[in-house]
Amino acid sequence: MEYSTGGKTVANLCIKNVRVIDPDNGKDDICDVYIMDGLIESFHQSPAGFSADFTLNGEGKWLLPGAVDLWARLCEPGLEHKGTIHSETKAAAAGGITHLCCPPDTLPVIDTPAVANLIQEKAYQSGYAHVLPIGAITKNLEGNMLSEMHALQEAGCIALTQLRGPIKDTKVLLRCLEYAATFDITVFFQSQDAALAKNGVAHGGINASNQGLPGIPSTAETIALCRDLLLVEQTGVKAHFGQLSSARSVDLIANAKARGLAVTADVCAHQLAFTDDVINGFSSVHHVLPPYRNESDRKALIEGLESGVIEMICSDHQPHEAAAKAAPFAVTEPGISSVETLLPSSFQWVKQNCLGENRWVKALTQNPAQLLDIDAGHISEGSQANVTLFDPEGTTSITAENLLSDGKNSPWLEQQLPGKVLLTICDGHISYKG
């Protein structure tokens, strides 16, 4: 598939002595990178006719493929009081992201080509990142009737999903998967059993019980995941499992892969950092779905990434206006503003030697790009320049003023995370410069 972002000046630039980490091409070298007319022109010598608009000293810095985020809400259309395509793609660029998928829970829902087209058009005009809409697999995400899947695919929907919402019954789910398989459409799952999760706002463990908060047990995820895996096996649909939260889910995905099922999985960066201990102060910024679970789950998620059972890290960016979080915990809206912390919040596990550098880069670039089957997640000579300049020794200070997202609901406010995005180049133009 071909994507481009519109209307921006393409710069000619040279980054000297930078460490290029590109797992897709098996490249990990220190070199001089020349970007000309929007393309990665050369890794060694100045190409003929090249005149740099500016030159950067890349010493000690890493040049990574632009990050590909599988789940990031832009809130437009319909929820512009939380964020807009312009504000949130700009924030994504500041997070080192060049490509992102936006889920269909907009108003109206992405269940018609018109909405999918509107989002892509607006994103193109903003020009900060490639936006790949994920369509709804049922009409209005209601779980009753199939959406016009083929039309959505033609309109640029990169995958289809029901998100965490229930589908009327297992038979309708089976039909959805069969129909999607007909057109080789990838289905993104966020497995959750509706009855077990009903009214829940936190992990159904000790902390929720002691705080008197309605819980969502891990089995809400694993029971649905078992069902979904079996239906994927039956229908042969291309399937990806998003936002795992429990250790048993990692096991289930590993087992499915072991028996030859070609499924993939991702985890939210914040799930690697927090456990449900944080809900003890009723702090609504920690109201997220799936909920933070316990320490053994958190560790299993990091180990799952390191072992390759989980291939990708996503932001599950969900910006909110202040009022959405200014209420008693259970009635606040779930989710955190997280595109800008995607890289540093996950890089801390590299710093702590829990996750290999290569694994980390792949999980953010090559693996999601391959899942989506897009020309991204690599730094190849002659290809569009979609890259991120990252300082592994820098620190990112998160404050409400620094965040470009309209949503200031970050759990890392007033804190520092290791590593810093210095520059993001999307299709050869500078989409972010710190």
Binding site residues, another protein, CB under 8 A: 205-206, 209-213, 273-274, 277-278, 280-286, 298, 323, 326-331, 345, 348, 411-413, 415, 417
CB 275 within 8 A of CB 298: yes
Neighbours of 27 (CB within 10 A): 14
In the complex, the smallest distance separating the C-beta of residue 400 from another protein, rounded to whole angstroms, is: 14
**Cβ distance to another protein smaller for residue 194 or 326:** 326
Q: CA 392, CA 72: separation in Å to the nearest integer?
A: 24
Q: CA 395, CA 309: separation in Å to the nearest integer?
A: 29
**Cβ distance to another protein smaller for residue 138 or 345:** 345
In the complex, the smallest distance separating the C-beta of residue 308 from another protein, rounded to whole angstroms, is: 23
**Cβ distance to another protein smaller for residue 124 or 329:** 329
Q: Which residues have C-beta within 8 Å of that of residue 220, sequence separation ≥ 6? A: 192, 193, 196, 197, 200, 204
In the complex, the smallest distance separating the C-beta of residue 67 from another protein, rounded to whole angstroms, is: 20
**Cβ distance to another protein smaller for residue 407 or 411:** 411
In the complex, the smallest distance separating the C-beta of residue 205 from another protein, rounded to whole angstroms, is: 7
**Cβ distance to another protein smaller for residue 405 or 424:** 405
Q: CA 368, CA 263: separation in Å to the nearest integer?
A: 13
- The DSSP element (H or E) to which 368 belongs, if any, is helix 366-372
Residue bearing tokens 């995370």: 417
Q: CA 102, CA 134: separation in Å to the nearest integer?
A: 6
In the complex, the smallest distance separating the C-beta of residue 215 from another protein, rounded to whole angstroms, is: 9
**Cβ distance to another protein smaller for residue 235 or 294:** 294
Angle at 129 between CA 123 and CA 134, to 5 degrees: 65
CB 276 within 8 A of CB 213: no
Outline where DSSP puts E strands in 58-191. Answer: 62-65, 67-69, 97-102, 130-136, 159-161, 186-189
Residues of 76-101 as b/e, b for ≥16 C-beta within 10 angstroms? bbebeebbbbbbbbbbbbbbbbbbbb
Q: Which residues are catalytic?
A: 316
In the complex, the smallest distance separating the C-beta of residue 275 from another protein, rounded to whole angstroms, is: 8
